[in-house]
Structures are given as C-alpha cells and as structure tokens.
C-alpha cells in the first residue's frame, strides 16, 4: 500500500472551498524523524476529523489532503442495500430520531435504503455539512474511483447481516472493484469477526483481508491461514508484538502487515511508526502523515 504525495493542508482547504476544512489551530509540531520508513496513512471513516464520518464529504476531504487510503464501515438495510456508516443504529450521526420518532431503537437493519436517504448525516458535525447523506456502498465506491483512492472496507457486525460478505463482493464486482488492478493494490476487506474474514477469503481468495484485533502471539499462526493483515488498536501493541506479527506469512504467502488504529496525535503516530507498523489509521491523516514522513 502506498500514500499519495503529501499535500499541504492549506491546499486541502483551497480544494474543498473556503471554510470546508477546519484544521486544528494548535496542531502539534511533527517530531524529528528517526530514520524509519513512513507507514501508510489511512483516513479513518474518511478524513473524519474534518468532515462527517463515512460521508462522501469525508472521502473528498481525505482526497484534498492527498491521502489515498480510506477506511469505511458497511451495513445492510432492511431491503438488502449496503450502506456506509459506523454504528449499528442511526442515532449518533443522523437525525433519524427526529425524522422517524416512533422507530426506536433506530437500528440500521430496520430501515430501507429509501428511508435512510431522507436522513441528514452531516449537520451533527457542523452546519456547513447539513444535508449530507448516508451513502450506499455503490455511491461510496464511485466517489473513491473518481478520486483514484484505495479502500480499507470494514464489515460491521457481520452476525447481524448473514451473507453480507457475498453481498459486498457482488457490489464490488458490479462497481468494477474486483478487476486485477483493484484487487492487487486498491482493496482490503477487514472485520472484527474472524469467521467473516474467513468467509471473504473462501469466496475470493485473491482479495487481501485483515483481522481487526490483537490476537495472542500464540494464536497468530491460525489467523495467518486466512488473513494478510492483523490490525490492532494502538493501545494494545508494542514493538515486540508488531515484530511477532510481521515474522509470519499470511494467506498470500507474504509477511503479515500491521495497520494500527485510531492514532490522532503526532507523538503517538511517531511511537507507532517506531514500533514498525505498516500503516496508521487516523481521523487526522495530515497530522499523522506530517509527523511520520
């Protein structure tokens, strides 16, 4: 995985329009490099520090910052449409409680795609994003293709959506994301559910997969049989753990990679880099990029 050439945050603001990005005024200075290769920077739910998470605005914010890799989260609606948002319910990042007051607990799986399309998924983050919508996976893929970005796709709560792995692969194929170039260098599918990762690997052994979590070192060989990445929380790792993961070969015969999450501070990004991680998933990709490059 690679990162696009660094672009100044001021350029990002210009690309998105005046006021579209509110970059932190007290942004930390990048600590001095210590010689390590820079890890890949992945925009968590898009550049979610600057735009409402998992929206097309967050995809574009990452693109404006010069970030190629974008992470997202995928659910399935009541009528079988795949949509991009993080939570299993709609309360935190949409106005579902106001639009559908009698539909508690506002679970994604209980709404149709047409109903989700009525919701405002942006105003909770800031008034300038009022009217942003919950994108379908197809819409999300088309925007990323337009931007020539790369996707780290997370299957959320797979037990809630039996068969979602096959549905995701179907949508990826229809959207042109399963050709050789996408599969080789622009797509990773991950999940906290080991069985879900195994299912993706069995359906499409050519797709790069990742397991979200920090398995015990003794258990790593069993994960290496069906995944290519171990993607743990930053709070759970150190240099020894990263080295243990990278000492094994994954499902495609290459060494296991480590992408850690969610790292938002420059100092933590440098520590993660010094642990030897391959990638850092962050809400503030420009901060992490500048600290580690």
Gyration radius of the chain over CA positions: 19
Catalytic residue among 44, 75, 182, 201: 44
Number of other CB atoms surrounding residue 257 within 10 Å: 23
Name the one residue in this structure whose structure tokens are 């999940």.
191
Alpha-carbon distance 160 to 79, whole Å?
Answer: 14
What's the residue count for the chain? 293
Q: Which helix H or strand E contains 15, and what residues bound it?
A: helix 9-16
**Known active-site residue 201:** no
Those residues with Cβ within 8 angstroms of residue 251's Cβ, 6 or more apart along the chain or in another chain: 201, 205, 209, 224, 225, 226, 227, 228
Catalytic residue among 75, 86, 182, 201: 86
SS3 5: coil
Alpha-carbon distance 115 to 216, whole Å?
Answer: 42
Name the one residue in this structure whose structure tokens are 């990709």.
285
**Known active-site residue 182:** no
Structure tokens at 258: 């480590």
Whether the CA torsion 150, 152, 156, 162 is positive or negative: it is positive
Name the one residue in this structure whose structure tokens are 């600290």.
291
Q: Residue 162: how many CA atoms within 13 Å on its side-chain side?
A: 0
Which is it for strands 40-43 and 82-84: parallel, antiparallel or unpaired? unpaired
Structure tokens at 108: 């994604």
Catalytically annotated residues = 44, 86
């Amino acid at each position: 995985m690679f990162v696009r050439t660094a672009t100044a945050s001021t350029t990002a603001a210009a690309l998105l329009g005046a006021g579209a990005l509110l970059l932190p005024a007290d942004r930390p200075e990048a600590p001095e490099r210590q010689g390590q290769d820079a890890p890949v920077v992945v925009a968590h739910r898009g550049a979610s520090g600057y735009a409402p998470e998992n929206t097309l605005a967050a995809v574009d914010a990452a693109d404006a910052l010069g970030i190629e890799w974008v992470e997202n989260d995928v659910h399935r609606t009541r009528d079988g449409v795949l949509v991009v948002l993080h939570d299993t319910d709609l309360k935190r990042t949409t106005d579902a409680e106001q639009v559908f007051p009698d539909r508690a607990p506002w679970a994604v799986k209980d709404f149709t795609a047409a109903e989700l399309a009525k919701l405002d998924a942006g105003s909770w983050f800031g008034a300038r994003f009022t009217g942003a919508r919950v994108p379908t996976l197809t819409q999300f893929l088309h925007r990323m293709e337009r931007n020539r970005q790369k996707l780290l796709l997370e299957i959320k709560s797979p037990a809630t959506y039996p068969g979602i792995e096959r549905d995701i692969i179907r949508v990826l194929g229809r959207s042109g994301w399963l050709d050789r170039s996408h599969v080789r260098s622009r797509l990773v599918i991950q999940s906290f559910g080991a069985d879900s990762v195994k299912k993706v690997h069995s359906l499409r052994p050519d797709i790069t997969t990742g397991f979200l979590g920090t398995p015990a070192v003794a258990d790593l060989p069993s994960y290496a049989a069906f995944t290519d990445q171990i993607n743990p929380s930053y709070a759970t790792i150190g240099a020894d753990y990263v080295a243990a993961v990278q000492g094994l070969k994954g499902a495609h015969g290459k060494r296991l990679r480590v992408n850690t999450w969610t790292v938002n501070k420059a100092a933590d990004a440098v520590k993660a880099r010094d642990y030897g991680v391959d990638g850092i998933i962050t809400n503030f990709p420009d901060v992490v990029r500048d600290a580690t490059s």
